[in-house]
Amino acid sequence: MTKQDIINEISRSTGIEKVTVMTTIEALMDAVKQSMTKGNNVYLRGFGTFEVKKRAKKTARNISKNTAIIIPEHFIPKFKPSKEFVKKVKSEKH
């Protein structure tokens, strides 16, 4: 499902214009990105948590050049679904 599919589904089920739904979804995504960029987690009860996870410094190998490189400590975004979300996905037939 793409972002456009989500916009179409929300618009169809609520009767809200697609432009308004798109603006709202874009604002939500921007708010999540801005919060995580500042190092804050975003908690959406019943849906899940967007977390900022720290990756430690490590040594990796460049196989083609046969050299070792150091990957510095960095942060990555991570999504952890809520228990209700996981339960719902597990119970549905695909």
Question: Structure pTM?
Answer: 0.79
User: What band does 93 get if pLDDT is binned at 50, 70 and 90?
Assistant: confident
Single out the residue of 46, 3, 48 nearest to residue 11, CA to CA.
3
> Quick one: which of 43, 8, 2 has its CA closest to 22?
8
CATH number at residue 39: 4.10.520.10
Q: What is the structure's pLDDT at 89?
A: 93
Q: What is the pLDDT of residues 11-62, one digit of tens each?
A: 999 999 999 999 999 999 999 999 999 999 999 999 999 999 999 999 999 8
User: Total structural domains in the chain?
Assistant: 1
User: What range defines the domain where residue 80 resides?
Assistant: 3-91
